[in-house]
Amino acid sequence: MARFVFDFYCPEKRIAIELDGETHYNDDQFKRDIEKKAFATAFGIKVLRFTNEDVHTNLEGVLESISQALSPPLSPLLQEEGKLDQKTKS
């Protein structure tokens, strides 16, 4: 059985966050990261991955990405209404 540890995990939201440093830039670790994501996805866990550089230079963007991932998706009806609003403003 594969066992994985995530940098951050919220069971309530079923989301894992991975922060990758230089050790993730080799083929072996890259393959392991793919296996880890597939394992999580099989259990309905969404994995967000950021580089350490992202966190240091674009923390606001990282936090925005996390916030968007935590937000519930719009229903198809609301998505269609949004498209109509955009068309009428054009």
In the chain, which residue ranges form alpha helices assigned H by DSSP? 27-42, 52-57, 59-70, 76-89
Reduce the DSSP state of residue 67 to 3 states and report it: helix
Q: What is the pTM of this model?
A: 0.69
What long-range pairs does 51-60 form, CB within 8 A, spacing at least 24? 51/19, 51/20, 51/21, 51/24, 52/19, 52/20, 52/21, 55/19
Q: How confident is the model over 19-52, as pLDDT tens digits?
A: 987 765 667 878 888 899 999 999 999 999 999 9
% pLDDT > 70, the chain: 72
